[in-house]
């Protein structure tokens, strides 16, 4: 019997079950707001941190990004199956809440994927990954160190600091809170979600959700593991509409289900443009090798 980390772990022959916390069956999202008056104010957006929580087999556990929005800090945790066989992740019961430490104060998660889905299990293919998230009701200042405490027995990350980034420009020249260049290996999107057959496409636009809802929705989806599936049309130039490609490997049966999971309301389905054409639009972020 393998070591238990918050939940039962079974040998590969029985599908290795590992403890996760805050997984997004696409995963990872949160939000925060700070006063723009101070130079060290942390603006809403996605901050790449690229830290390792655990290295081993069958799992490597990574902390690629932190999101700030609406007075909350959200961490993205990606589980990478480095073995040659499918492995299983499970949201253990009872829930073991995660926490961060800032200025000596411990803040317990206010929300997470596993808190919403106790007992849920899913299989991660060999050499693939699965994103997770948790939210905390506090926002560190820029470059102010904080610690992600022991993440369900996998380990923690000390001295996390958020630094400003060059961002993608959205409506009216505003920063959309998403880095304009992200190394592809840092993207939390599971690769099979992008290479499986396309089943449809959802869209997010300013006309439907308003400018604030559009921008917040984009980085919530991005950090939730769908960044690689978000497309924009170069010709539009305004960034007022984006599409999210649905594929057969994603754990969402419809745009309504995807939207409810990430932004709390259904996303419209695009019935005017073919998913294949949308797939040819450029991705939201410019990735590097």
Question: Is residue 148 domain-shared with residue 252, that is, in the same domain?
Answer: no
Q: How far is residue 187's CA from residue 181's CA, in Å, rounded to a whole number?
A: 11
Helices (H), 81-205: 113-116, 191-195
Residue 142 located in a structural domain: yes
Domains identified in the chain, total number? 2
Residue 29 located in a structural domain: yes
- Smallest CA-to-CA distance from 64 within 82, 81, 52 is with 52
Question: Is residue 32 domain-shared with residue 111, that is, in the same domain?
Answer: yes
Domain boundary among 136, 164, 192: 164
User: Where does 117-236 show beta strands of DSSP type E?
Assistant: 121-124, 129-136, 146-148, 157-160, 167-169, 175-179, 181-183, 198-205, 230-231
Reading the chain (289 residues) residue by residue, the pLDDT tens digits are: 223 343 322 223 223 233 333 332 222 222 222 223 344 689 888 999 999 999 999 999 999 999 998 899 999 999 999 999 999 999 988 888 999 999 999 999 999 988 888 888 989 999 999 999 999 999 999 989 999 999 989 999 999 999 988 888 877 777 888 888 888 778 888 888 988 999 999 999 888 888 888 888 888 898 888 988 999 875 444 457 899 999 999 888 899 999 988 888 999 999 998 988 998 888 888 765 5
Residue 1 located in a structural domain: no
Q: Domain of 257?
A: 168-288
Question: Is residue 153 domain-shared with residue 200, that is, in the same domain?
Answer: no
Question: Is residue 185 domain-shared with residue 62, that is, in the same domain?
Answer: no
Domain boundary among 108, 133, 164: 164
For residue 214, the surrounding DSSP H or E stretch is helix 206-221
């Amino acid at each position: 019997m393998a070591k238990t980390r918050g939940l039962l772990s079974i040998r590969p022959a029985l599908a290795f079950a590992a403890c996760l916390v805050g997984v997004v069956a696409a995963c990872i999202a949160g939000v925060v707001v700070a006063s723009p008056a101070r130079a060290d104010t942390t603006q809403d957006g996605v901050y790449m941190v690229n830290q390792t929580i655990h290295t081993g087999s069958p799992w490597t556990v990574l902390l690629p990004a932190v999101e700030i929005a609406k007075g909350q800090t959200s961490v993205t945790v990606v589980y990478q199956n480095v073995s040659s066989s499918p492995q299983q992740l499970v949201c253990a019961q009872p829930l073991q809440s995660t926490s961060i430490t800032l200025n000596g104060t411990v803040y317990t998660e206010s929300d997470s994927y596993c808190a919403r889905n106790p007992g849920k299990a899913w299989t991660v293919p060999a050499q693939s990954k699965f994103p997770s998230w948790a939210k905390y009701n506090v926002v560190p200042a820029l470059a102010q160190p904080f610690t992600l405490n022991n993440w369900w027995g996998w380990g923690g990350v000390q001295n996390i600091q958020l630094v400003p980034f060059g961002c993608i420009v959205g409506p009216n020249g505003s920063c959309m809170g998403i880095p304009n260049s992200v190394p592809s290996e840092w993207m939390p999107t599971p690769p099979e979600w992008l290479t499986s057959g396309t089943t449809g496409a959802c869209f997010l636009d300013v006309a439907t959700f308003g400018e604030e809802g559009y921008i917040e929705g984009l980085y919530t989806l991005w950090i939730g593991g769908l960044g690689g599936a978000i497309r924009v049309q170069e010709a539009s130039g305004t960034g007022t509409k984006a599409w999210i490609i649905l594929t057969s490997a994603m754990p969402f049966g419809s745009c309504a289900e995807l939207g409810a999971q990430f932004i709390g309301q259904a996303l419209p389905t695009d019935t005017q443009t073919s998913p294949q054409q949308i797939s040819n639009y450029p991705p939201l972020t410019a990735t590097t090798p």
